[in-house]
A and B are shown apart, each in its own frame.
Chain A
Amino acid sequence: MRAAWAKAGSKSIAIVLALLFTALLLLASGASPIESFRLIWQGSVGDGAKLADTLMAWVPLVLAASGLVVTFAAGLWNIGVEGQVVMGAIAAAFVAREFHAAPALIITVALAAGVIGGLLWGLLAGMLRVFGKVNEIFGGLGLDFVATGMVVYLVIGPWKRAGIASTSGTDPFPREAWLPTIGDKLSPIAVILAVLAVVGVYFLMRGTFFGLRLKAVGANAASAHIIGLSTRRYLLTAMAIGGGLAGLGGAVQAIGFQHKLVPAISGGYGFLGILVVLLAGYRAALIAPIAFFFMMISVGSTQLSLRLGLNSSLGGVVQGTLVLLTVLVGGWQAQRARRREPTEVES
């Protein structure tokens, strides 16, 4: 109970500090903080179109972050998530470009391909770690860039726009492969998938034997082995699930938002997802609201550049500051707790 209060306390201290820091930055840039915050609010949820923008950005972020909850539970730092998003997008793009059938079928197959693309890429990082002892952080980082290289290659090489090769992207996919929308942008399928993913991961981690065993392997692999769990299998499964969800995010990004393949197809949602999960304290329940808050900031920040001439990266600054301060304040409180009652160390 006390721990819960301490956690809530550290979050609020961090939020206050992050708001102060942002306000100072805004004042230093000659903008009114109150006006800026109002613009961010209006720019993200002020009307239906804005809300649709925010939700469509929220979807891939939630998908990537849900997958990361699973990999973090297994004790893995899946920095390869960015590449998994990209591979999902590439796989979906392949289906969208090459496959001709009824829209419902193409879309289903494209989304499934996205899951498989991300899953395989995640599994590759997992296998490098489990069988080759390549740390998942550096292995994943490497695979991120390999995936990015691949997408750039496709965009200016085999899949280049008719006539000119340019890094601005491929030709748009055929209309049948686009996710159907309500209004201009909002795709209910995408939103439903994100909700299903986050609810599914929450249930997986809280309600199933798989989630429980995964937590055990992540917290103490030696004990988990003695208890009778195959640690390898759980690590690989976690990477597959994490990669699959990230890949689905990439697929949605490709056929639901960009409608073509562009070099920056990942949208940075993988790395941003890591920030979301760090801020959520690795708990699935908090992913959806935090991701929504993040995307309000991101989407709303574009208003700052339109109206106040500020750089829209302010959104990223706020997000980063918030996570950094939360992590630091949390560490500081844990440190004070350790000082109060020293942990047992046997020598």
Chain B
Amino acid sequence: MSLELSDIHKHFGRIRANDGVTLRVGAGELHGLLGENGAGKSTLMKVLSGFFEPNSGEMTLDGATLSLRSPRDAIAAGIGMLHQDPLVFLPFSVLDNFLLGSPPIDRTAARTELADLARRFGFSFDPDAPTRTLTVGERQQLEIVRLLWLGAKVLILDEPTTGISASQQALLFDTLRTLAGQGMIVIFVSHKLEEIEALCDRVTVMRRGQTVGEVTLPVPIDRLVEMMFGQAVPVVGRVPGVRGEVALDLEGVSVDDRLTSVVDLTLQVRAGEVIGLAGLEGSGQRTLLRTCAGLLRTSAGSIGVAGSDVTTRGYHERIATGVHYLPAGRLEEGLIRGLSITEHFQLAHGSKGFVVPWADARRDANALISRHSIKGTPDTLAEELSGGNQQRLLLAMVPENVRVLLMEHPTRGLDIASADWVWGQLMHRVERGTSVVFASADLDELLRYSDRIVVFFGGRVLKVLDTSEADTDRLGHLIGGRDVA
């Protein structure tokens, strides 16, 4: 048995999520699909499971061409996918979840089948319990059992280790090894290096919608890091600017945010300092940024801004102290569809007045548009701007005298010119005393612009290091959870 995907293209509007992807997997193979978030892994797997129809490309299973117009076709062809958030129906019973979408079968018979299959893999379910009472790991187990029962020969698992316990992960990996041992094809999608390393026989690495390459494991981890993040360019650390007073002061801060937590973190950020937050997506960077912004409540410790304690102050009160937060979702948590550039500036810069002075507002908008070289007019709507121009608009909306700027992925999805421009703007502010704390998946960006880097791993802070002691290699290892220094 062999599975082959060649030259798959899948576009969403202007975004090329898959831009000529190739994947080859043989029988009995545990194949890893590795890449950063947004590399196009999930899209590719949704194409393979019939959820998306590709724009072009060919898929064959055992030499026969697959024509998958819906998941129904994929199931019939023996391809089953376990989605990142298991697609189960929470209010329904376990047995109902098992049965929904299956060929006709008597309930009692199905009950026996479920129990038998579960026993074979060492799972245990109460068939009558509502699915919402199951842990994420158990929901996955239920889905795996169901897909196998439906006759899956190819099993796709999309980021299955998110939100499950260590013992469940061990059980999952054992199960997958057993299945591969029986000749099945298992495709394991992940952005976590150590999991791919521990589990897979071979791995295909994707970056920006394309296949970077395919290697047989084991292989040195920095090779994988390089494939994932791109050629390691030797970078020179930023020349430290003049440091001022402490702008942001975290004292023994602990926060719980479901899957990630920050425990007892002490960190002082001085005026004019740049702190990079490194780590695989979802390791806790966002939790820290949202805590500093006041969107998450601390369970212990205190947060100070420019000498005054803001621990108990909410998000809007912290804005008043000069702390600004720019999340990653530019059109989801930042800009507003349907409103123009002028209107965005008026919302952001506000006024105690009642009447909007539209003539002045347009003049100001024009000035800001040229100062931040945004490609648009005062009447251009937010959604009509390109990603780079949306980011410029967001930055332009932050007041000049801001004290602490918290950013998620400041340059994600931007072309090089826009990215350089964004950092030019940020550095300009840093020189005048703004502190920047940013999360990024781009090692180059982290090393180039940060004074210090906080590395997150598995929902915790692993290390805080000076950029002078770091290089791509060491950072890559740290992100993978290992400190070799």
A223 touching B343 by the CB < 8 A rule? no
Q: Which residues of B, 346-370, contact A by the 8 Å Cβ criterion?
A: 346-348, 350-351, 353-356, 358
A220's nearest neighbour on chain B, judged by CB, is B336
B313 at the binding interface (Cβ < 8 Å): no
A230 at the binding interface (Cβ < 8 Å): yes
Q: Count of chain B residues with Cβ under 8 Å from any Cβ of A? A: 35
The complex places the Cα of A323 from the Cα of B354 at a distance, in Å, of: 34
Q: Which residues of A, 324-347, contact B by the 8 Å Cβ criterion?
A: 341-347
Decide: A207 near B358, CB < 8 A? Known: A219-B338, A345-B13: yes
The complex places the Cα of A341 from the Cα of B384 at a distance, in Å, of: 13
A-side contacts of B356, CB under 8 Å: 207-209, 212
B318's nearest neighbour on chain A, judged by CB, is A228
B-side contacts of A343, CB under 8 Å: 13
Q: Which residues of A, 207-235, contact B by the 8 Å Cβ criterion?
A: 207-210, 212-213, 215-216, 219-220, 222-230
User: Which listed segment binds A: B237-245, B278-286, B326-334, B463-471?
Assistant: B326-334
Select which of A207, A209, A342 is within 8 A of B12 by beta carbon.
A342
Select which of A216, A223, A224, A344 is within 8 A of B13 by beta carbon.
A344
B11's nearest neighbour on chain A, judged by CB, is A342
Q: Which residues of B, 309-328, contact A by the 8 Å Cβ criterion?
A: 315-316, 319, 325, 327
B-side contacts of A347, CB under 8 Å: 12, 17, 42-43, 46, 52
Q: Scoring B residues 334 to 347 as 1 if CB is less than 8 Å from chain A, else 0, what string do you get?
A: 11111100010011
Decide: A216 near B336, CB < 8 A? Known: A209-B346, A209-B351, A228-B319: yes
A212 touching B316 by the CB < 8 A rule? no
The complex places the Cα of A147 from the Cα of B315 at a distance, in Å, of: 39
Count chain B CB atoms within 10 A of each CB in A212, A220, A222, A223 and give the residue with the most: A223
Select which of A207, A213, A346 is within 8 A of B347 by beta carbon.
A213
B43 touching A219 by the CB < 8 A rule? no
The complex places the Cα of A342 from the Cα of B15 at a distance, in Å, of: 11
Binding site for B on A (CB under 8 A): 207-210, 212-213, 215-216, 219-220, 222-230, 341-347
Q: List 18 A-B contacts (CB under 8 A).
A: A207-B356, A212-B343, A215-B338, A219-B338, A219-B339, A223-B336, A227-B347, A227-B397, A228-B319, A341-B13, A344-B15, A345-B12, A346-B12, A346-B17, A347-B12, A347-B17, A347-B43, A347-B46
Binding site for A on B (CB under 8 A): 12-15, 17, 42-43, 46, 52, 315-316, 319, 325, 327, 331-339, 343, 346-348, 350-351, 353-356, 358, 397
Known: A208-B355, A209-B354. 8 other contacts (CB 8 A): A207-B356, A208-B354, A208-B356, A216-B343, A219-B339, A223-B331, A227-B334, A228-B350
